[in-house]
Amino acid sequence: MGLREYVAKRAVYSIFLVFIVITINFAIFMARSPIEMFASEKRLRPEQIEELKVRFGLLEPIHVRYLKYLQNLLTFQFGYSYRTGEAISKEVFSRLSNTLSMCITAEVIAVVIGLILGVVAAYKRGKIADIFFSMFSVVTQGLPVFWIGMLLLLIFSYSLGWFPLGHSEPPEWAIHGRPANFLVELAIRFQHLFLPALTLVIITVGGYVLLTRASMLEVLSEDYLITLKAKGLSNFKILFKHALKNASLPIITQVAIAFAFTLSGALVTETIFSYPGLGMWIWTSIEESDYPVLQAIFYIVSLCVIAANFLIDMIYGAVDPRIKYG
């Protein structure tokens, strides 16, 4: 199978997953009419409930509703929020950019640190560095997200005052506007992003360290590494250029899995830091029973995970040609 066939096959598979996600999303939220649940909380009269059902098309046959639902999600028309009455599509992409900025930044940093520490731990197997990095990984993986976030706020915001307490930008920007200098604006946004991203790094980096260590230990006993060392290559080139590449497939798989968990972990992290992303939006929407917003968020998060897996599949083909041409 050539490169084009491989990419086409993975693309078709990803499109199929999108339709599965839409169908499951439709089934979950239509199992019970959200209008009835909303009406019971707001104590609406029966005639008001019927009017809402007509407005939202809930009296139409289910197949008609599904086709309209499919069309709306594929064109990113998510309807209107129960809470604000505003179009959801206006807000969802700004919040998505905040969440992706935080999650991708945390993921990249965690992967880089995890790879380096994992390679060092495998090379120093049984020594102090190996024991320390392994213990560090186990401990950080077991720490609660909310506890880490609150501890970082206490130390770096309340005590030292190095970073702001929350939000993605200073509140005064809403009144006075953003700085004219783009680099200044970027630096200020990074200050707001640092602590939430650091929280996600702490809870995810341990998994990369342990997985990299385990994968490297299997590769370090291979004969070709002994040959490379006999040819005079440095330990750095042997470990990071040759051994790590052959040990990278399980790590690439973990990146895709961890990205999904990072997106879900953003709910707690964004709530702690009052960071206006999808995670905090989920929390407020659950409190307000804002079902259209929840449907949109679940769909967008699923698309991000599917896109991440598609990207990982492409990286698989670049790292290991046997997968691409198998």
- Res 1 pLDDT > 60: no
- The residue with greater pLDDT, 33 or 100, is 100
- The residue with greater pLDDT, 37 or 188, is 188
Q: CA-to-CA distance for 107 and 103, rounded, in angstroms? A: 6
Look up residue 158 and give its DSSP letter. I
Q: CA-to-CA distance for 313 and 253, rounded, in angstroms? A: 9
Range from 37-46, 233-242, 277-286 carrying the lowest mean pLDDT: 37-46
Q: Express each pLDDT in 247-267 by its tens digit.
A: 777 888 778 777 777 776 677
Predicted local distance difference test score (pLDDT) of residue 20: 92
Average pLDDT, whole number, for the chain?
80
Percentage of the chain modeled with pLDDT above 70: 87
In this structure, what token pair is assigned to residue 277? 């992303």
Its pTM stands at: 0.78
Report the pLDDT averaged over residues 172-201.
80
Predicted local distance difference test score (pLDDT) of residue 3: 65
Nearest CA to 192 out of 162, 161, 168 is that of 168
Domain ranges of the chain: 3-74, 96-324
Percentage of the chain modeled with pLDDT above 90: 3
In this structure, what token pair is assigned to residue 325? 């041409």
Rounded to the nearest angstrom, the gap between the alpha carbon of residue 206 and the centroid of all alpha carbons in its chain is 17
- Res 282 pLDDT > 80: yes
CATH topology of domain 96-324: MetI-like fold (1.10.3720)
- Count how many residues are written for the chain: 326
